[in-house]
Structure 1
Amino acid sequence: MSLHPSLQTSADAWTHSVEAIAELVQPLVEGEWNRPTPCPYWSVRDIVSHVIGVDCEMLGDPRPIHTLPRDLYHVKTEAQRYQEIQVDVRRHHTGPEMVSELEYTIIRRSRQLRNENRAPDTIVRGPRGIDETLDYAMRRRAFDIWVHEQDLRTALNKPGNLDSPGAYVTRDMLLDVLPKIVAKDAQAPANSAIVIDVHGPVEFLRTVRVDAEGRGSVDGSPSLGPLVSLSTDWETFVRLACGRVSPAAVADRIKSEGDQDLAAAILRSFVVTL
């Protein structure tokens, strides 16, 4: 047996992004590893440490035994603490050490994926230390690593891959949460429709519909009378959703029509991951 066909898209997206990351960081000199990135509080080194650490956990490696310093004031929740351990344990590693560990981890993880024969609905320990299906864990991993590839590209001024396989996994992951953002978090009224129009390397138009009971759903059919229409480019859409920018910082890149209070509430609720 080999990788289930429904998992191949996630595996291909992970491979494309992780190889791009390896190519980006291989030539870096020591000072460049400390550059800040759009990912709050993390440097280039920190993001690569996170990439290595999560894939080591996907491989089943034991977590490092490590105590976080008390002055990491951005670490406020248990979920953040869980993620930060793999990052902080590598904060004093040199550039060559980082590249070597990244490349070795890619080899091991690629071999694991080639030999993966579990069903998509198998329950595994996912990238966040939470039990979830193998399918979701792999989609989440592809999404996460593509976003971090973009963080590194921004920090290193090496734009690219905005329409790579990982971008489409990311699109689908973000579309999955739009109904909750609009209906529950932003409290859009019952029997309303909100149109999201995204242009650029990845284009789509979706309508989020809130039914009479306040439940949200999303589809590709246009609405003739939306309560709100939001239009932006793909890169801005992703950066907003991933907490890399605030709505105010990119207001000139967002076109909003209709109920402006609701539009503002949707944009405030739009951060789905960090």
Structure 2
Amino acid sequence: MSLHPTLQPYADAWTHSIEAISELLQPLAEAEWNRRTPCPGWSVRDVVSHVIGLDCEMLGDPRPIHTLPRDLFHVTNDHQRYMEMQVDVRRHHTAPEMTSELEYVVIRRNRQLRNESRDPGTKVRGPLGAELTLEESMRRHAFAVWVHEQDLRTALGRPGSLDSPGAHVARDVLLGELPRVVAEEAQAPRSSAVVFDVHGPVEFLRTIRVDIQGRGTLETAPALGPAATLTLDWETYVRLACGRVTPETVADRVKTEGDQDLTTAILRNFTVTQ
């Protein structure tokens, strides 16, 4: 394979998740494709449509020409409208049509990855015409497909893959958002620290330090006398960060210490996906 070593972890994560999704879908009856997932407004079919659409975008396929209905109340911004297009265009597809299209797209993506020789810094097109590096595009893609694998597992009652390659990509993506959540969104006091203690299949202890200018940085060193500490399990961390649950519904799974106003503000702004 000619894939750059920097990109290999993201290709491995995508491969693991997409194979898991394919396996989850094989035994499903037609009615099970309509099950609700934790992803707001989306069924199992919708999530799979989205995953297919994401991979079509990675392949550079033209986007579908389609007009969205006006009654999709979960669609409230341009980013959601952009993502919904690939979903709504497949809403009436049968289970065999969905699995066949997914299988074909996966074959094409595997071929693309085998032949991928571009530098990680190569600029590529992202959602809504945004320009980003190939490395960031593949990183975001591996993250998204793993999160949607988890959506499907929750909907189908088939938990798993919480420590898979995609889970570790997700950890790094979500940790990268924490300084902004704590310092900018939750407005943590300047010259303070907030500790996140996460246990479970993926474990980590991280500190967000807020400097005198109000900028947040992510550190692995524990803080002495932090302003606040949040302790929770990995699955709850993911669900909160991806907007699959509200802080109120998982209050019994999140332990907070220190400044309660600050921990409330952090949890209120914890969702980082659109």
Same fold by TM-score greater than 0.5: yes
Aligned to 1:112: 112
| 65-74 or 36-45: bigger deviation | 65-74
Partner residue in 2 for 1:3: 3
| Alignment gaps of 5+ in structure 2 | none
CA distance in 2, matches of 1:130, 1:23: 33
Aligned to 2:218: 218
- Aligned positions of 1:1-274 closer than 5 A: 2-126=2-126, 129-274=129-274
Shift of 1:167: 0.1
Are the equivalent residues in 2 in contact too, given 1:195–1:207 (CA < 8 A)?
A: yes
CA distance in 2, matches of 1:129, 1:162: 32
Relative distance call for 1:51 and 1:129 in structure 2 (3 A) is farther
- Once residues 114 and 186 of structure 1 are traced to their aligned partners in structure 2, the CA distance between those partners, rounded to angstroms, is 43
Q: TM-score scaled by structure 2?
A: 0.98
Q: 1:103 to 1:164 in 2, by over 3 A?
A: same
**Cα deviation per residue 1:202-248 (whole Å; 9 max; x = unaligned)?**
00000000001111001110111100000000000000000000001
Higher mean alpha-carbon deviation, 63-72 vs 256-265, is at: 63-72
Letter in 2 for 1:86: Q
Amino acid at match of 2:163: D
How many angstroms does 1:126 deviate by? 2.4
CA distance, structure 2, for counterparts of residue 178 and residue 193 of structure 1:
12
Distance 1:28 1:192 in 2: 50
Task: Give a deviation string over 1:90-149, Cα, whole Å, max 9, x none.
Answer: 000000000000010000001101111111111101256421110000000000000000
Length-normalised TM-score, structure 1: 0.98
Counterpart Cα distance in 1 of 2:136 and 2:31? 36
* Aligned equivalents of 1:128, 1:86: Cα separation in 2: 13
Work out whether residues 127 and 141 of structure 1, in 8 Å CA contact, stay in contact via their aligned partners in 2: no
SS at structure 2 position matched to 1:6: coil
Mean alpha-carbon deviation: is it higher for 70-79 or for 178-187? 70-79
Whole-Å Cα distance in 1 between the matches of residues 251 and 203 of structure 2? Answer: 20
Read off the aligned partner of 2:261 and give its amino acid letter: D
Cα RMSD (Å): 0.9
1:84 aligned counterpart, secondary structure = helix
Contact 1:196 1:206 in 2 (8 A): yes
Give CA-to-partner distance per residue, 1:11-51, whole Å, 9 cap, x none: 00000001100110121110000000000000000000000
User: Which runs of no fewer than 5 residues in structure 1 stay unpaired?
Assistant: none
Please give the alpha-carbon distance, in whole angstroms, between the structure 2 residues aligned to 1:52 and 1:155. Answer: 18
- Which amino acid in structure 1 is aligned with residue 208 of structure 2? V
Matched residue of 2:146: which SS?
helix
User: In the alignment, is the contact (CA less than 8 A) between 1:10 and 1:138 conserved in 2?
Assistant: yes
Deviations 1:28-81 (A, max 9, x none): 110000000000000000000000011011101100111111111221211111
Structure 1 residues 177-203: Cα deviation after superposition (integer angstroms, max 9, x where no partner) = 100100000000110000000000000
How many residue pairs match? The answer is: 274
Distance of 1:119 and 1:35 partners within structure 2: 41
CA contact (8 A) 1:183 1:216 kept: yes
Q: How many Å separate the matches in 2 of 1:158 and 1:4?
A: 34
Higher deviation after alignment, 89-98 or 122-131: 122-131
User: Once structures 1 and 2 are overlaid, which stretch shifts more, 214-223 or 73-82?
Assistant: 73-82
Separation in structure 2 between the aligned mates of residue 15 and residue 208 of structure 1, nearest angstrom: 32
The ranges of structure 1 where at least 4 consecutive aligned residues each deviate by more than 2 angstroms after the TM superposition are 126-130
